[in-house]
């Protein structure tokens, strides 16, 4: 294998081999830009070194050859006593990685060559010793592992002795003394002198760069950023140029346009008489790049020229690092620059206008996460803020409100027009109404897939969960922070769902212009960001194959989803329609002892549900609305057994025995399940409680008939949950057909409707070909399908062991957040193939949390689903990602 590449041999497309820095140095070299000559030791060499604990065979010879060539080119030998060649040794992995060793400059200096360097610089001893002390400092701390503070303290001491804070005030004697002290410090700390042999210096730095790949900080960073551990880093060896030889020299960093807003202009910082990291280290005040025009117009013009050239060449925003040596400009680094979400959208459109990229490329240059970022309201970070706790950033946004500790108060206060934050230890389905009423939700327990988190994300409510430093006292209506601060019901707090922070009091919030635009606020149209976003969205809509629907259970949510571009509802859950005051009616149904009692209970529920559906069908008129028949375990509609038992016992004791209550208690006991998620739920309820699904179907179809009579165009799609066999489906479907016929007979209207099923059990996947005989559509319930496939209880595993799994890299991200394409994804692929084999026009969609997750959306597109459905707030994100997937 070849391990070493001259800069002229590489290109920007060789990042795997040469690392990002090396690949781009090569690219600039080949563009004819002024890059000091040098060469790159490949990541192959690093991997081999790390695997065997020593440099691979042949590497030393190759380095010799390239060093030789470099010396020939420069006319000087590395570290030679009279006029030495010096080099920088610079790490550079495929992805830039803080936590790894970066760079050692001025390699090749020693007690002799420092005088040669001075002679080269026309006798400038100060400059030579300044460079030498820098080498000792960088070598000592990064290669020899001595705490950098040891050197900084010494430098500060010398400066203090001179009575200055500016390193430029140190004279040659100071620097020479510093060099001596640094060498002594190295001996004290390592027991060995600083290596005087230039080639030994070089080899030691290269080895240290390789080793730095495995430092703890680097490993942690890779883990967080999902960067594989086996890439390794490249090492760049580059002839030194000097920005520290006087005021006609200097070093700087620049962007080809503003990375925060995307605005074109001159952005960067410059520091005279400085080297390397001085610019960013804040040792002296830098000047804005624009000032360079006054200081050195020739270099300035050349730099701007080069930046324009780079932007055209890379067709993107770039950043650069450069050095000026006595009026001569040198380019030392470039790369595609990181940018804010706002800049990403603006720059993508600007580049289209400059005809550097087309719209397809433009939508690939932005992503759903950036769009989401632009949609959240945010706290003003300049405002004064008192942080009281930090939890998990479960559902983004910035919410301010008065603290309430229970669902009823949340509803009551919200009805009075108060903005409230619902604070709970954890939430359960009983808290739903409170969650709907609240602006934000804060819990002290549970992770990112806890009930609170999932529901909040679904509703677009801001949520911070698992803020475990808070002690919540629901009965006492107050909470206490770790520092002992008490917060009582009615006190104002602010929660940031993007960062997980919780603040005392009211932090000012700024509204998202982009959301106002989606909501139809025309005053936003003049805004440049809004214009860029809508241009990108239009193109995404034109490009995408998949439709995007919303998960919505209320007319309000449906209407909002529609404004956000939803093309129908992919999941309307009906269980919410059994809660609140209707809970009593459900109890009657469950307690019914005769068919008559059961009928009576159902008859009371029917008109209420019908009204719900009329509103939703109206909001989505003309578009498909997939309505799922009741799904959750029955016990969710019944009181808690323990609570009820206590209550009954109390009543009995006081002689107020209540038979209905006793009956209820017995029923609750009878219906108790050890494992409700695997118990009596979904289609099983429909089969066991006669009339329940028929009632729901009737409510839906009567609502549709009413809509038709009112001149509307309803398209309900009735969806049966948790089906495992076609027999289950057929039983329920027969009831629905019967109901439809009755309604047609009664009203003369036969509304357009479909009946289909959710695919959320592995068995349903395997039987998909059969089920498709009867079902007109499939909707993949990826939450349950993930849960059932992995055997993970969604409500438990996150808090108990997901942390360990993520840490050990068993998965990089929770399979509940982003679809597990290897496992669950293959099941979906199978069901799609077999379903379509039976029924070629089978309509296919997905309605789990994954429907709004960018990576998952790309997978759904690939396997050929017709639509994804997600919460209303994620609809624009799904539209964008579906477009990107097609572009």
Tell me the catalytic residues.
451, 847
The continuous run of DSSP H or E covering 421 comes out as: strand 420-424
Please, what is the Cα angle at 672 between 667 and 673, to 5 degrees?
150
From the CB of 322, what's the least distance to Mg ion, in Å? 10
500: tokens are: 């997980």
C-alpha–C-alpha distance, residues 359 and 364, integer Å: 9
**Distance from CA of residue 784 to its chain's centroid?**
23
From the CB of 138, what's the least distance to ligand ADP, in Å? 10
Check if the beta carbon of residue 388 is closer than 8 Å to that of residue 399. Answer: no
From the list Mg ion, ligand ADP, none, pick the one residue 36 interacts with, judged by a Cβ distance below 5 to 8 Å according to partner type: ligand ADP
Q: Considering beta carbons, is residue 316 or 321 the nearer one to Mg ion?
A: 321
From the list ligand ADP, Mg ion, none, pick the one residue 362 interacts with, judged by a Cβ distance below 5 to 8 Å according to partner type: none
C-alpha–C-alpha distance, residues 152 and 1, integer Å: 42
C-alpha–C-alpha distance, residues 3 and 235, integer Å: 11
From the list ligand ADP, Mg ion, none, pick the one residue 186 interacts with, judged by a Cβ distance below 5 to 8 Å according to partner type: none
451: tokens are: 């009930």
Torsion, Cα of 689, 694, 696, 699 (10° steps): -150
159: tokens are: 């400066």
Check if the beta carbon of residue 257 is closer than 8 Å to that of residue 264. Answer: yes
Q: Considering beta carbons, is residue 20 or 825 the nearer one to ligand ADP?
A: 20
Site size toward ligand ADP (CB under 6 A) is 17
From the CB of 148, what's the least distance to Mg ion, in Å? 13
By CB under 5 A, tell whether 102 contacts Mg ion: yes
From the CB of 40, what's the least distance to ligand ADP, in Å? 12
Which residue has the closest beta carbon to Mg ion?
102
Beta bridge partners of 830: none
From the list ligand ADP, Mg ion, none, pick the one residue 238 interacts with, judged by a Cβ distance below 5 to 8 Å according to partner type: ligand ADP
By CB under 5 A, tell whether 251 contacts Mg ion: no
From the CB of 239, what's the least distance to ligand ADP, in Å? 6
User: Which one among 238, 700, 723, 724 touches ligand ADP, defined by CB under 6 A?
Assistant: 238
Window of 114-122, 236-244, 795-803, 836-844 that interacts with ligand ADP by CB under 6 A:
236-244
From the CB of 141, what's the least distance to Mg ion, in Å? 13
**Distance from CA of residue 298 to its chain's centroid?**
43
C-alpha–C-alpha distance, residues 492 and 505, integer Å: 5
User: Which one among 43, 137, 323, 856 touches ligand ADP, defined by CB under 6 A?
Assistant: 323
Q: Considering beta carbons, is residue 97 or 868 the nearer one to ligand ADP?
A: 97
711: left (phi over 0), alpha (psi -120 to 50) or beta: left
Window of 247-255, 315-323, 648-656, 784-792 that interacts with Mg ion by CB under 5 A:
315-323
Helix axes 125-138, 172-190, angle to 10 degrees: 20
* Per-residue contact flags (x/-) with ligand ADP for residues 85 to 104, judged by CB under 6 A: ---x-x-----------xx-
DSSP type of residue 417: T
By CB under 6 A, tell whether 237 contacts ligand ADP: no
From the list Mg ion, ligand ADP, none, pick the one residue 276 interacts with, judged by a Cβ distance below 5 to 8 Å according to partner type: ligand ADP
Q: Which of residues 327-366 bind Mg ion (CB under 5 A)?
A: 333
Please identify which residue in the block is written with the tokens 């960073």.
221
C-alpha–C-alpha distance, residues 379 and 495, integer Å: 9
Q: Which of residues 20-79 bind ligand ADP (CB under 6 A)?
A: 36
C-alpha–C-alpha distance, residues 101 and 91, integer Å: 7
From the list Mg ion, ligand ADP, none, pick the one residue 399 interacts with, judged by a Cβ distance below 5 to 8 Å according to partner type: none
From the list Mg ion, ligand ADP, none, pick the one residue 350 interacts with, judged by a Cβ distance below 5 to 8 Å according to partner type: none
Measuring CA to CA, which residue among 256, 410, 401 is closest to residue 319? 256
From the CB of 421, what's the least distance to Mg ion, in Å? 41
User: Which one among 14, 18, 105, 614 touches ligand ADP, defined by CB under 6 A?
Assistant: 105
Window of 97-105, 425-433, 557-565, 616-624 that interacts with Mg ion by CB under 5 A:
97-105
151: tokens are: 């050197």
Measuring CA to CA, which residue among 463, 437, 636, 436 is closest to residue 552? 436
From the list Mg ion, ligand ADP, none, pick the one residue 130 interacts with, judged by a Cβ distance below 5 to 8 Å according to partner type: none
Q: Considering beta carbons, is residue 80 or 534 the nearer one to ligand ADP?
A: 80
Q: Considering beta carbons, is residue 321 or 735 the nearer one to Mg ion?
A: 321
From the CB of 333, what's the least distance to Mg ion, in Å? 4
By CB under 6 A, tell whether 882 contacts ligand ADP: no
The residues, ordered by sequence, that sit 6+ positions from 465 with a Cβ below 8 Å of its Cβ are 391, 392, 394, 441, 442, 443, 445, 446, 447, 448, 450, 452, 453
Window of 221-229, 234-242, 596-604, 757-765 that interacts with ligand ADP by CB under 6 A:
234-242
From the list ligand ADP, Mg ion, none, pick the one residue 43 interacts with, judged by a Cβ distance below 5 to 8 Å according to partner type: none
Q: Which of residues 457-496 bind ligand ADP (CB under 6 A)?
A: none
Window of 5-13, 129-137, 232-240, 629-637 that interacts with ligand ADP by CB under 6 A:
232-240
By CB under 6 A, tell whether 251 contacts ligand ADP: yes
Q: Considering beta carbons, is residue 215 or 727 the nearer one to Mg ion?
A: 215
Helices (H), 767-863: 768-774, 782-790, 797, 803-807, 824-838, 854-863
From the list ligand ADP, Mg ion, none, pick the one residue 251 interacts with, judged by a Cβ distance below 5 to 8 Å according to partner type: ligand ADP
Q: Considering beta carbons, is residue 12 or 539 the nearer one to ligand ADP?
A: 12
Please identify which residue in the block is written with the tokens 């479907």.
733
Q: Considering beta carbons, is residue 311 or 321 the nearer one to Mg ion?
A: 321
User: Which one among 276, 368, 391, 500 touches ligand ADP, defined by CB under 6 A?
Assistant: 276
Q: Considering beta carbons, is residue 205 or 634 the nearer one to ligand ADP?
A: 205
From the CB of 628, what's the least distance to ligand ADP, in Å? 53
User: Which one among 18, 78, 93, 240 touches ligand ADP, defined by CB under 6 A?
Assistant: 240
Check if the beta carbon of residue 680 is closer than 8 Å to that of residue 687. Answer: no
From the list Mg ion, ligand ADP, none, pick the one residue 744 interacts with, judged by a Cβ distance below 5 to 8 Å according to partner type: none
From the list Mg ion, ligand ADP, none, pick the one residue 695 interacts with, judged by a Cβ distance below 5 to 8 Å according to partner type: none
* Composition of the chain by helix, strand, coil, percent to 5: 50, 15, 35
Site size toward Mg ion (CB under 5 A) is 3
Bridge-based pairing state of the strands 486-488 and 478-480: antiparallel
Measuring CA to CA, which residue among 545, 723, 702, 548 is closest to residue 624? 548
Window of 96-104, 510-518, 738-746, 807-815 that interacts with Mg ion by CB under 5 A:
96-104
Q: Considering beta carbons, is residue 277 or 621 the nearer one to ligand ADP?
A: 277
Strand order in the sheet with 501-504: 386-390, 501-504, 492-496, 398-404, 420-424, 440-443, 462-465, 392-395
Check if the beta carbon of residue 784 is closer than 8 Å to that of residue 760. Answer: yes
208: tokens are: 């240290």
From the CB of 304, what's the least distance to Mg ion, in Å? 20
CA–CA distance from 755 to each of 217, 334, 613, 882 (Å)?
55, 57, 16, 26
Q: Which of residues 121-150 bind ligand ADP (CB under 6 A)?
A: none
Helix axes 583-591, 595-619, angle to 10 degrees: 150
User: Which one among 48, 332, 414, 533 touches ligand ADP, defined by CB under 6 A?
Assistant: 332
Measuring CA to CA, which residue among 398, 647, 425, 373 is closest to residue 529? 373
Residues in touch with Mg ion (CB under 5 A): 102, 321, 333
Residues in touch with ligand ADP (CB under 6 A): 36, 88, 90, 102-103, 105, 238-241, 251, 276-277, 321, 323, 332-333
């Amino acid at each position: 294998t070849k391990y070493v590449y001259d800069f002229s041999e590489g290109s920007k497309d060789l990042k795997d081999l040469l690392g990002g820095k090396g690949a781009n140095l090569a690219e600039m070299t080949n563009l004819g830009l002024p890059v000091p000559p040098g060469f790159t030791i490949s990541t192959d060499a690093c991997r081999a070194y790390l695997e065997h604990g020593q440099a691979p065979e042949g590497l030393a010879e190759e380095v010799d050859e390239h060093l030789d060539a470099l010396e020939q080119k420069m006319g000087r030998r590395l570290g030679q006593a009279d006029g030495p060649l010096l080099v920088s040794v610079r790490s550079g992995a495929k992805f830039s990685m803080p936590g790894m060793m970066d760079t050692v400059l001025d390699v090749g200096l020693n007690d002799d060559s420092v005088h040669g360097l001075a002679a080269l610089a026309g006798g400038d001893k100060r400059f030579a010793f300044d460079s030498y002390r820098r080498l000792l400092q960088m070598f000592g701390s990064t290669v020899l592992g001595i705490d950098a503070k040891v050197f900084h303290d010494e430098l500060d001491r010398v400066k203090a002795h001179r009575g200055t804070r500016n390193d430029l005030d140190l004279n040659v004697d100071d620097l020479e003394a510093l060099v001596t002290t640094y060498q002594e410090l190295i001996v004290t700390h390592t027991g060995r002198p600083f290596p005087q042999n230039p080639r030994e210096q070089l080899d030691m730095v290269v080895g240290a760069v390789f080793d730095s790949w495995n430092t703890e900080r680097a490993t942690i960073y890779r883990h967080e950023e999902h960067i594989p551990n086996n890439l390794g880093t490249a090492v760049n060896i580059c002839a030194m140029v000097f920005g520290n030889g006087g005021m006609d020299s200097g070093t700087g960093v620049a962007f080809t346009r503003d990375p925060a807003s995307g605005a074109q202009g001159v952005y960067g910082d410059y520091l005279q008489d400085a080297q390397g990291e001085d610019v960013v280290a804040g040792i002296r005040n830098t000047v804005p790049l624009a000032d360079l025009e006054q200081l050195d117009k020739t270099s300035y013009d050349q730099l701007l020229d080069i930046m324009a050239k780079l932007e055209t060449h890379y067709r993107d925003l770039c950043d650069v690092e450069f050095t000026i040596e006595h009026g001569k400009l040198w380019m030392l680094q470039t790369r595609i620059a990181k940018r804010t979400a706002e800049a990403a959208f603006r720059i993508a459109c600007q580049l289209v206008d400059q005809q550097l990229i087309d719209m397809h490329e433009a939508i690939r240059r932005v992503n759903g996460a950036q769009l989401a970022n632009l949609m959240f309201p945010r706290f003003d970070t300049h405002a004064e803020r008192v942080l009281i706790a930090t939890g998990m950033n479960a559902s983004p946004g910035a919410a301010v409100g008065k603290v309430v500790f229970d669902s009823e108060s949340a509803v009551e206060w919200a009805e009075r027009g108060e903005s409230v934050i619902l604070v709970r230890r954890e939430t359960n389905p009983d808290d739903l109404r409170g969650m709907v009423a609240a602006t934000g939700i804060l819990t002290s327990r549970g992770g990112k897939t806890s009930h609170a988190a999932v529901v909040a994300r679904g509703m677009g409510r801001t949520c911070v969960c698992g803020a475990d430093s808070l002690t919540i006292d629901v009965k006492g209506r107050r909470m206490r922070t770790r520092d002992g601060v008490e917060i009582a019901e009615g006190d104002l707090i602010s929660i940031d769902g993007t960062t997980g922070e919780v603040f005392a009091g009211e932090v000012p919030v700024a509204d998202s212009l982009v959301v106002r635009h989606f909501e139809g606020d025309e005053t936003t149209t003049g805004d440049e960001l809004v214009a860029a976003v809508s241009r990108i969205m239009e193109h995404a809509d034109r490009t995408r194959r998949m439709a995007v629907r919303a998960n919505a259970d209320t007319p309000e949510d449906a209407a909002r989803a529609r404004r956000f571009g939803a093309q129908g509802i992919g999941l309307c859950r009906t269980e919410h329609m059994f809660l609140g005051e209707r809970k009593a009616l459900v109890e009657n149904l469950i307690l019914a002892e005769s068919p008559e009692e059961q009928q009576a209970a159902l008859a009371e529920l029917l008109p209420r549900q019908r009204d719900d559906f009329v509103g939703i069908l109206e909001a989505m008129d003309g578009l498909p609305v997939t309505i799922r028949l009741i799904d959750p375990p029955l016990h969710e509609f019944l009181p808690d057994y323990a609570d009820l038992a206590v209550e009954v016992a109390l009543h009995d004791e006081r002689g107020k025995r209540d038979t209905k209550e006793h009956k209820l208690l017995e029923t609750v006991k009878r219906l108790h399940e050890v494992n409700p998620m695997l118990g009596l739920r979904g289609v099983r309820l429909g089969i066991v409680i006669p009339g329940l699904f028929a009632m729901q179907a009737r409510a839906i179809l009567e609502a549709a008939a009413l809509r038709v009579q009112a001149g509307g165009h309803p398209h309900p799609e009735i969806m049966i949950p948790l089906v495992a066999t076609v027999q289950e489906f057929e039983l329920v479907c027969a009831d629905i057909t019967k109901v439809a016929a009755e309604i047609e007979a009664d009203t003369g209207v036969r509304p357009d409707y479909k009946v289909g099923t959710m695919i959320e059990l592995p068995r349903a996947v395997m039987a998909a070909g059969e089920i498709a005989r009867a079902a007109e559509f499939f909707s993949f319930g990826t939450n349950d399908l993930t849960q059932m496939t992995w055997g993970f209880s969604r409500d438990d595993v996150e808090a108990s062991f997901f942390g360990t799994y993520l840490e050990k890299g068993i998965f990089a991200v929770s399979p509940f957040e982003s679809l597990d394409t290897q496992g669950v994804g293959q099941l979906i692929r199978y069901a799609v193939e077999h379903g379509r084999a039976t029924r070629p026009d089978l309509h296919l969609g997905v309605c789990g949390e994954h429907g709004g997750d960018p990576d998952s959306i790309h997978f759904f597109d690939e396997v050929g689903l017709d639509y994804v459905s997600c919460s209303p707030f994620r609809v624009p994100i799904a539209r964008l990602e579906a477009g990107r997937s097609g572009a």
